Structure 1
Amino acid sequence: MFDVPKGYRFAAVEAGFKYRNRCDLSLVVSDCPAHAAGVFTTNAFQAAPVVVSQKTLAGSPVARAILVNAGQANACTGEEGEKRCLATRTMVGTPLGIDPTEILVASTGVIGDQLPMDRFERGAKALVDNVGHSSALDMAKAIMTTDTFPKLVTATVSLEGGTVRLLGMCKGAGMICPNMATMLGFIVCDARVDPLWWQQTLRTAVDESFNAVTVDGDTSTNDCVLALANGQSHVEAVSRSDKRLLAAGLIDLCRELAFRIVQDAEGGTKVLRIRVSGAKSKPQAETVARVVGHSPLVKTALYGQDPNWGRIVAAVGRSGATFDPNQVSVAIGDTTIFSKGRPVEGDWDSILAPVLKRDEIVVSISLGTGRGSYELLASDLTEEYIRINADYRT
């Protein structure tokens, strides 16, 4: 049973954009105006819903609802795509008595096709009738594309004035690489917050979570994380302590959702937790982690349960980070297999066999140069990933 924040209602219906016999159009509505925040893709080809939601938040950090469709990305669709996106807000907002400009929008699916407005109009009517009759889990299922399971997390945070609740959901399994990833994330909270602080805190949470994962090195046109805080708990985050606690709760929630994205990576069988330490700076540590995490050779080796430290070291060496090769060490699990620029003798196929069979594998890289560190979650690379993406449009 999920502890849903106060003052939110959900809807999810089948509109038939791409999928059959499943919901693909969904909505979360706040019973009152909520402070809204958003973080969006840095891809130059920003989808129409990204453009619309950015403009909406730039005009006012207040929203009443988030409208999401799966199966049609409405990306690279020009002015017509933006026009259709705006029309969908009216289709939903007018019958609900909500100003369409207070509806944030998000889409995910195939790039390049215009939204089929006849299906959207029929779906919007059903969606309005469904408000309050679906659950948060129903919406989490409706936003899925190639995901194999819905990703939904809740949390409670005790503040000085009482308890507040957070609920987050996301979708994403492939085309995942910051900034940000082919992912949509939606968070609702019932705390009273300062809108500027809420936006800044969401940005920090995204950097600490969704921007620290990779599946395949591809960044999408539609990525966004949208967050509402409606104050319906009547508990306000005012003091430094309260703000620190709520920020920590939001970061933990986003980290759990980000982990589930990598856990559900297209064709993936393992989560790779790549930890880099001893770098000259955090950005240099991040650079190393990303090169290792993106490397097809590293990813396929770990999928094949091959302790091929040479691929890891080679990736570190081409990362562009500054370090002394004679100070570099690499460990898989708790076992060091490369130390101070030299391999450690051992029957690593046998010793590491139990470690490499695990669903989660830690790869630790020490550069021995400074105090900079970074952790990246990555997936392995399998034949199934190729099959999924070779057949994605068909």
Structure 2
Amino acid sequence: MTADMILPQGFRAAGLACGIKENKSTFDLSLFASDVPCCGAGVFTKNQVCGAPVKVSRERVPSESVRAVVINSGNANACTGERGIEDAKWMTRLVSDGLSLAEEEVLVCSTGIIGHFLPRTPLEQGIPEVVRQLDSGARAFRQAATGMMTTDTVPKQATHVLSIGGTTVRVSGAAKGAAMIAPNMATMLSVIMTDAPLSSTQADQLLRNAVNRSFNCVSVEGHTSTSDTVILLANGAAGAAELSDQELSDLQLAIDEVAMELGQAIIRDAEGADHFITIEVSGAKQRDDAFEIARTIANDALVKTAITGADPNWGRIVSATGRTSVKLTERDIVLQVNGTLLYEDGQPVDFDEQAVSDGLRNNRDVLIQVQLPFGEESVVFWTSDLTQEYVRLNSEYTT
């Protein structure tokens, strides 16, 4: 079940403004820490051009002892060469010194503009202060979620509570992201924490399963960036016994829910977006087929602009379905938009175009359903429309 936005037992967080961003009062530094060692796992960008923090953190997980994650926003520390690697390690060293930890127990993430060296002076002052401000309260958790933001308009948090063997266990997460969002993640970061007991192997598997059902099923414009990172930390502080297979399955569902809630929050906050679009593809022979079709529809600029203009242009969706590697013909596709049948058996059906258009114009949420006749596999995918405001924001980003 969903709960108030509070941290699992044994975790603390903090966020503050240290002066990385042009607006010096805007939060730009976050820290999540556990009072005891965590089993940690991470999933990272598949972009071959990746940031220095990705390279450093990827070497440190999976691990049986992760204690903290430090995150700065406003500077991605990507394409910064050997200096970037040293700067990322230096950030972890400042945290480890402040918390009396081994440097390898600290993970690091950065997000923001690519190709600028990390400014050490504000971080040298900010990291000791963010360590000092660590707290287990809801306000500290929200401030940490805020410190991760770049073009986000709201902090993104999720918490779910479940009972395992009579013990209350919590899963909580924070994420950032509003653009450069695509499957295999993108300019998005997330830290998910639980007080359940897990091994590093279990944490790694549960995280990968959750990411495939959530963050890898969201897209704004199809751009996989240099910085994407999702980290799972499990410290066992709730006191639950070693988990049975069923209890692991229950925990998997809770982690999935947190990850999906965070992923959807990213799409709802997508830059310039007017619509939140859910794409359901069902009846595929294998999941990869359903995923490829959903992703292709989600990233299609013509589909996205049609939604922006409240144009029930079924041809763009059907065409996007057909330009995948999935073997099909036009007669294999059944298409509904917001519950109205638009297309089946290779041709459009009679429908009230004005009513469908009005539904698109007057509602933020849009549901596109593609039904195939080949099997039982399905995928749910989330995306946004493409607006003039998105173009404006991204054409002016570095100028």
TMscore range, shorter length = over 0.9
User: Which stretch shifts more, 182-191 or 356-365?
Assistant: 356-365
Question: Amino acid of the residue matched to residue 86 of structure 2?
Answer: K
Distance in 1 of aligned mates of 2:128 and 2:287: 50
Shift of 1:281: 2.1
Deviations 1:72-94 (A, max 9, x none): 10011111100111111112211
Are residue 274 (structure 1) and residue 279 (structure 2) matched?
yes
Question: Amino acid of the residue matched to residue 124 of structure 1?
Answer: I
Deviations 1:327-384 (A, max 9, x none): 2111101110111111112331234522552111111112323333222111100011
Q: Which residue of 2 aligns with 1:185?
A: 190
Distance in 1 of aligned mates of 2:208 and 2:269: 24
Distance in 1 of aligned mates of 2:346 and 2:107: 52
Shift of 1:280: 2.9
Deviations 1:276-323 (A, max 9, x none): 122232211111111111111100111111111111111112122111
1:79 aligns with one of 82, 85, 90: 82
2:57 aligns with one of 48, 53, 61: 53
Q: Which residue of 2 aligns with 1:265?
A: 270
Distance in 2 of aligned mates of 1:240 and 1:351: 46
Are residue 125 (structure 1) and residue 128 (structure 2) matched?
yes
Following superposition of structure 1 onto structure 2, how do residues 245-264 of structure 1 map, counting pairs within 5 Å?
245-264=250-269
| 1:328/1:366 contact within 8 Å kept | yes
User: Which stretch shifts more, 78-87 or 356-365?
Assistant: 356-365
**Match of 1:205, SS?**
helix
Distance in 1 of aligned mates of 2:131 and 2:67: 14
Distance in 1 of aligned mates of 2:178 and 2:112: 12
TM-score of the superposition, structure 2-length normalised? 0.95
**Match of 1:353, SS?**
helix
Shift of 1:174: 0.1
Are residue 91 (structure 1) and residue 94 (structure 2) matched?
yes
Shift of 1:35: 0.8
Following superposition of structure 1 onto structure 2, how do residues 217-366 of structure 1 map, counting pairs within 5 Å?
217-366=222-371
Q: Which residue of 2 aligns with 1:153?
A: 158
TM-score of the superposition, structure 1-length normalised? 0.96
Distance in 1 of aligned mates of 2:305 and 2:119: 39
**Match of 2:60, SS?**
helix
**Match of 2:293, SS?**
helix
Shift of 1:128: 2.5
**Match of 2:59, SS?**
helix
Q: Which residue of 1 aligns with 2:43?
A: 39
| 1:192/1:230 contact within 8 Å kept | yes
Distance in 2 of aligned mates of 1:207 and 1:335: 29
Q: Which residue of 2 aligns with 1:173?
A: 178
Question: Amino acid of the residue matched to residue 12 of structure 1?
Answer: G
Change (3 A) 1:352 1:146: same
User: Which stretch shifts more, 28-37 or 280-289?
Assistant: 280-289
| 2:284/2:374 contact within 8 Å kept | yes
Distance in 2 of aligned mates of 1:11 and 1:325: 53
Shift of 1:271: 1.1
**Match of 1:34, SS?**
strand
Shift of 1:44: 0.3
Q: Which residue of 1 aligns with 2:115?
A: 112
| 1:303/1:382 contact within 8 Å kept | yes
| 1:212/1:375 contact within 8 Å kept | yes
Distance in 1 of aligned mates of 2:5 and 2:259: 16
| 1:324/1:369 contact within 8 Å kept | no
Shift of 1:392: 1.1
Aligned residues, how many? 393
Give 5+ residue unaligned stretches, structure 2: none
Q: Which residue of 1 aligns with 2:24?
A: 20
Shift of 1:161: 4.1
Give 5+ residue unaligned stretches, structure 1: none
Q: Which residue of 2 aligns with 1:380?
A: 385
Distance in 2 of aligned mates of 1:382 and 1:52: 36
| 1:279/1:367 contact within 8 Å kept | yes
Distance in 2 of aligned mates of 1:170 and 1:156: 18
User: Which stretch shifts more, 152-161 or 138-147?
Assistant: 152-161
Deviations 1:40-84 (A, max 9, x none): 1111011111110111115x3321101000001001111110011
Shift of 1:117: 1.1
Question: Amino acid of the residue matched to residue 34 of structure 1?
Answer: C
Distance in 1 of aligned mates of 2:311 and 2:95: 52
Change (3 A) 1:37 1:351: closer
| 1:237/1:246 contact within 8 Å kept | no
2:34 aligns with one of 13, 30, 36: 30
